[in-house]
Amino acid sequence: CPDTRVIGDIGSSLKALIPRLSSSSGWQSDAIQNFRQQQRPTETAAVSDDRLSPLAALRIMRDNLPDNTILTADAGQHKVYASRLWTCYEPLGYLTSSGLGTMGVAIPIAITAKLLRREQPVVALTGDGGFLMRVSELETARREGTAIIVVVFNDGYLNLIKRKQEQQGYSVLGSQFADVDYIQVSKGFGFQAVQVKTEAALAEALQHAVTSGEPWVVDACIDPDGYN
């Protein structure tokens, strides 16, 4: 139930109310900051020495990519956390399919973004499931001369589906992948490619990919149990 009822013409009422509103207030800023903090998941260490924590990987990406980087993300567990953790310093710094949650859309969006903003780094963040769905778009990216960087969160699962199955007491079924050599696949499309298993290796790969001006695929080995 509203505290105050305003009865009258919408346009006239708004014109009368707007001048009475202060431009900012302390409690609003505090509320926004508190909300952001509540939405921020807790970073945990990877269980395995040869796997990255997904949250740590996102932190390394933000720390080692230029502020004007455009990040695109498709559906999956990685997108849930990217949407919470990625900091944008410019408009249109983060592009994703929110309503439909389309798998595999990160690479096509990245190609389009690079065609429109060639001077900016464009990074497609995709899971191994989304990458397998749209790997053929690497040919499109190469043909159109779009030097995008694709970061594959490779955890061996459709992780969001796996977690839902586990949470509801079901067997993990139809959500695990066999090993795929994403490096050789990517090189076959004319991309530079590297696999990384540590934070230092990921940071180095991103820095090199940005400065090279070439299309890259970074196969990031992710701990499938690293999401909380």
Q: Is residue 106 in a domain?
A: yes
Q: Is residue 4 in a domain?
A: no
State the average pLDDT over residues 149-173.
Answer: 92
Q: Quickly state the pLDDT bin for 112 (edges 50, 70, 90).
A: very high
Q: Is residue 41 in a domain?
A: no
State the average pLDDT over residues 12-35.
Answer: 76
* Residue 56, φ and ψ in degrees, nearest 5: -65, -40
Q: Is residue 89 in a domain?
A: yes
pLDDT tens by residue, 187-214: 999 999 999 999 999 999 999 999 999 9
Q: What is the number of structural domains in the chain?
A: 1
Tell me, what's the pLDDT at 100?
80
On whether the pTM is more than 0.85, the answer is no
Tell me, what's the pLDDT at 228?
72
Q: Is residue 204 in a domain?
A: yes
For 79, the domain range is 46-221
Q: Is residue 182 in a domain?
A: yes
pLDDT tens by residue, 75-95: 999 998 999 889 999 999 999
Q: Is residue 16 in a domain?
A: no
Closest by CA to 148, choosing from 206, 102, 199, 198, is 206
Name the burial class of residue 127, with classes exposed (0-12), middle (13-18) and buried (19+) by CB atoms within 10 angstroms of its CB.
buried
Tell me, what's the pLDDT at 1?
67
Q: Is residue 74 in a domain?
A: yes
Question: In this model, does residue 226 exceed pLDDT 80?
Answer: yes
> What value, to the nearest 5°, has the Cα angle with vertex 182 and ends 178 and 184?
120
CATH code assigned at 117: 3.40.50.970
To the nearest whole percent, how much of the chain has pLDDT over 90?
67
